[in-house]
Amino acid sequence: MPKAVIVDDSKAIRMILCKTLEEVGFEVCQAANGEEALSVFERENGSISLALVDWNMPLMNGLEFVRRLRSDPRYASVRLMMVTTETEVEQMVQALEAGANEYVMKPFTKEIIADKLRLLGALQ
């Protein structure tokens, strides 16, 4: 079973995304910010193939997290999807340039998440 991590400071959003990913066959870990997420990646020792990342979080925001993860060659193959309220084209460009593979704006539907996962090759 593929493993994903949801990185969002909102417990409600983590629960919604967790349910969505579990329904399509992922085992899911959660983190409330980028620092926690980096710890999850270390703990899971290479087993995580997907991360859904919010932008606005305390301690380490999503953009910083994407940059940190992409700077580590161990995680080069991890698919990163920003799931955020940030709707400006400039922010989308920044996230993609930093190494995010996809970008979803909140509010989202289960179908939008599934479609993006298919685009990433994470779902059949």
pLDDT at site 92: 94
Residue 46 lies in a domain: yes
Residue 87 lies in a domain: yes
Task: Tell me the whole-structure pTM to 2 decimals.
Answer: 0.95
- Supply the CATH number for residue 82's domain: 3.40.50.2300
Residue 124 lies in a domain: no
Decide: 76 and 29 in contact? Cβ < 8 Å. no
Residue 30 lies in a domain: yes
96 closest CA partner among 69, 63, 59: 63
pLDDT at site 123: 82
Residue 60 lies in a domain: yes
**What is the sign, positive or negative, of the torsion defined by CA atoms of 11, 110, 98, 119?**
positive
Domain residues for 98?
Answer: 3-119
pLDDT at site 61: 96
Distances in whole angstroms, Cα of residue 110 to Cα of each of 21, 24, 80, 96, 116: 9, 10, 17, 22, 10
The chain-wide mean pLDDT, for the chain, equals: 95
Please name the residues in contact with 114: beta carbons below 8 A apart, sequence gap of 6 or more: 20, 24, 123
CA–CA dist 95, 109 (Å, integer): 21
Domain count, the chain: 1
pLDDT per residue as tens, the chain (124 positions): 899 999 999 999 999 999 999 999 999 999 999 999 999 999 999 899 999 999 999 999 999 999 999 999 999 999 999 999 988 999 999 999 999 999 999 999 999 999 999 999 888 7
In sequence order, which ranges of the chain are alpha helices (DSSP H)? Answer: 11-23, 34-44, 62-70, 89-98, 110-119
Residue 91 lies in a domain: yes
**What is the sign, positive or negative, of the torsion defined by CA atoms of 68, 100, 43, 108?**
positive
